[in-house]
Amino acid sequence: MSRYRKIFNRVLPALFLLVFFSINISSYAADGEALFKANCAACHKPDKDFTGPALQGWKDRVPAGDWIYKWIANSADLRESEPYAKALFAKWNKTQMTAFGSQLKKEDIDAILKYVDDWKPPVAGPTPGGQPQGSDDSLLFGILTLVLALIAFILLQVNSNLRKLSDEKEGVLRTEPVPFYKNKTYLMVGILLLFLVGGYYTINSAIGLGRQQQYQPEQPIFYSHKVHAGTNQISCLYCHGGAQDSKQASIPSVNVCMNCHKAINKYEGPDVLVRENGATVDGTAEIQKLYAYAGWNPTTKTYNSDNNNDGIPDGAKPIEWVKVHNLPDHVYFNHSQHIKVGKQQCQTCHGNIQEMPEVYQFAELSMGWCINCHRETKVDFYDKENGTGNKFYSIYEKFHQDIKNHKLDSVTVEKIGGTECQKCHY
């Protein structure tokens, strides 16, 4: 009995250590990412200049000390007095950076900077689970754990040898020691470790199955949202009108593209179109591709005639876009619910689409991600006194009472049942 207790005494602290480290690592890394996306991603990219400078390598560029914290808290204070800040402001056409003093604490900034430093460009194509998205530190800590485990192992060996020696000295008879690879204690620790580590990675990759954040397939036509929605400021709903009427936002039919492209047959925008892999794209050639799909003759500026009587111009065919945002079959998602009723911005889920030359999946689109938003988002609750808000919610009389009595200050989507199973699964 005592022997087993000893094993536990040895193993448990080690286990705690392992669990502690792993939890710590993941939470730290996730925070930085979330904070970066929420606060910085609109203007900064880790590796590339954007509205603001690329963030990687900041350590080598900025003055040492707490310059960086001051700058992030309020850049206006620095750029008058400090020379580097002055130069930086001038270099970026005097674009003012938002002051984050009240929003970001020092730890938050550390987390963001750490995330930025560790960031690596996403691999194109679907990422089918398997690779956990943890930072490089996991390797470091892994090695550390291994080294510690080795030391512990050696120490245990030394301990047992010493005891053996002292026993011999005192004349206590002991059975022949078992070699360590047959030692039940070691075997058990080994198995437990294997189970824990294996289980951790299995579960993590299983959760990732079917998710494809950052998925950025190559499309049949290099269609740049940055050119259309960003530079040319076309409203999202002009093309994706379904978003306000239907569950599907729907990809525009070719005739919608042709509404404008009958006239616009060349790409003459300010930006060079570049694929994710660095290759430049000839925008005009891409428009020509559209003409082929539409059955449009750019020289005569007419549609091809319909000689085979199928109701469409000869040679025209629909474009087979690669679907970027895929939800599992058992999920019901309705765009109009979110756009028309919830008054959400497209960017909430699709990211800064107006900055994307090629569309990638910005959000995780996992259930946890959906639920989180439903927990936090406030509904446009009807206010009887002022007559504001969505009148439908007038049926929630109890919540009106609670608001009146100051038991509630606002009603979230969750409150009206937004996290119940059959809101999305039926």
Partner 1 sequence: MSKKKYWQSFGELNHTESFQESTKNEFKEELLPLADLDDKGILDAKTPRRDFLKYLGFSTAAAAVAASCEMPVRKAVPYLKRPDDVIPGVANYYASTYVNGGDTISVVVKQRDGRPIKIEGNELSSITKGGTSAQAQASVLDLYDNTRLRYPMQKDGKGFKEVTSFDAFDKMVANSLAVVAGKPVVLLTSTVNSPSTLAIINEFIAKYPGSRHVQYDAVSYSGMLLANEVCYGKRAIPSYHFENAKVIVSLGADFLGTWLNLVEFAGQYAQNRKVTGEKPTLSRHFQFESMMSLTGSNADDRYTHKPSETGSIALALLTKLGMSLAPIKIADEKLLKGIEKAAAELNAHKGEALVVCGSNDANIQMIVNAINEQIGANGKTINWAITSNYKNGSDADVMKLVDDMNAGSIGAVFIQGVNPAYSLPNSKKFKDGLSKVVSVSFNGTMDETTELCKYIIPSHHWLESWGDAEPKTGYYSLLQPVINPLFKTRAYQTSLIKWSSAAGSLINDYETYFKTYWSSKLGSPDMYDKALQDGVVEPATMAIGSGTFNAGKLSDAADGIASIKTGVNEVVLYQKVSVGDGSQANNPWLQELPDPVSKVTWDNYVMMSPAMAKSLLNLDVMNQDGGKQSDYEVHPEKPVVKVTAENGAVVELPVIVLPGLNKDTIAIALGYGRESANKEETAINIGRSANGAGKNAYPLVSFNGTSLYSSMCRVEKTSAMYPLAQTQVHGFTESRPVIYETNLTSYSANPESILEEVTKEREAITIEGSKDFVKDATIYPDYEKPGIKWGMSIDLNTCTGCSACVVACTAENNVSVVGKRQVQRAHEMHWLRIDRYFTGDLENPDVVFQPMLCQHCDNAPCENVCPVAATNHSSEGLNQMTYNRCIGTRYCANNCPYKVRRFNWLDYTGADSFPDNQKPMLDKYMDESVMQMNEDLTRMVLNPDVTVRSRGVIEKCSFCVQRLQESKLDAKKHQDPTLVRNVKTACMQACPTHAISFGNVNDKESDVYKIRHVEQKHRSFYVLEQLHVLPNVSYLAKVRNTDRHIGVEEEHGGEMKKEEKAHA
Applying CB under 8 A, the residues found at the interface with partner 1 are 126, 128-129, 205-206, 209-210, 212, 215, 217, 241-242, 245-248, 250-256, 293-294, 312, 316-323, 326, 328-330, 332, 334, 336-337, 340-341, 390-399, 416-417, 420-423, 425-426
174 burial via Cβ count (<10 Å: 0-12, 13-18, 19+): exposed
Tell the smallest beta-carbon distance from residue 214 to partner 1 (Å): 13
Tell the smallest beta-carbon distance from residue 327 to partner 1 (Å): 11
Tell the smallest beta-carbon distance from residue 233 to partner 1 (Å): 23
CB of 184 or CB of 425, closer to partner 1 = 425
Q: Which of 208, 224, 47 is nearest to 126 (CA)?
A: 208
Q: Which of 53, 55, 51, 54 is nearest to 43 (CA)?
A: 51
CB of 45 or CB of 211, closer to partner 1 = 211
Map residue 124 onto helix, strand or coil.
Answer: coil
- Which pairing describes strands 280-281 and 273-274: parallel, antiparallel, or unpaired? antiparallel
Q: Would you say 390 and 381 are in contact if contact means Cβ atoms under 8 Å apart? A: yes
DSSP 8-state assignment for residue 424: T
CB of 107 or CB of 420, closer to partner 1 = 420
- Residue 266 CB coordination number (10 Å): 10
Question: DSSP string of 129-153?
Answer: S-S----THHHHHHHHHHHHHHHHH
Q: Would you say 30 and 132 are in contact if contact means Cβ atoms under 8 Å apart? A: no
Tell the smallest beta-carbon distance from residue 30 to partner 1 (Å): 23
Tell the smallest beta-carbon distance from residue 201 to partner 1 (Å): 12
For 280, list phi and psi in degrees, rounded to 5: -85, 155
The CA-CA-CA angle for residues 207, 119, 20, to 5°, reads 55
Tell the smallest beta-carbon distance from residue 319 to partner 1 (Å): 7
Distance CA 84, CA 75 (A): 11
381 burial via Cβ count (<10 Å: 0-12, 13-18, 19+): buried
Question: DSSP string of 7-45?
Answer: HHHHHHHHHHHHHHHHHHHHHHHHHHHHHIIIIITTT--
CB of 111 or CB of 319, closer to partner 1 = 319
CB of 266 or CB of 301, closer to partner 1 = 301
CB of 334 or CB of 366, closer to partner 1 = 334
CB of 115 or CB of 303, closer to partner 1 = 303
CB of 11 or CB of 256, closer to partner 1 = 256
Tell the smallest beta-carbon distance from residue 414 to partner 1 (Å): 10
CB of 95 or CB of 326, closer to partner 1 = 326
Q: To which residue do tokens 């705690």 refer?
A: 16
CB of 106 or CB of 247, closer to partner 1 = 247
Q: Report residue 347 as tokens.
A: 């960017």
Distance CA 89, CA 22 (A): 40
Q: Would you say 318 and 254 are in contact if contact means Cβ atoms under 8 Å apart? A: yes
Query: What Å distances lie between residue 165 and 1, 93, 152, 157, 158, CA to CA?
Result: 24, 77, 20, 12, 10
Tell the smallest beta-carbon distance from residue 254 to partner 1 (Å): 5
Tell the smallest beta-carbon distance from residue 303 to partner 1 (Å): 10
Tell the smallest beta-carbon distance from residue 270 to partner 1 (Å): 29
Distance CA 84, CA 87 (A): 5
Tell the smallest beta-carbon distance from residue 229 to partner 1 (Å): 17
CB of 102 or CB of 386, closer to partner 1 = 386
> 74-83 — which CB contacts under 8 Å span 24+ positions?
74/99, 74/101, 75/99
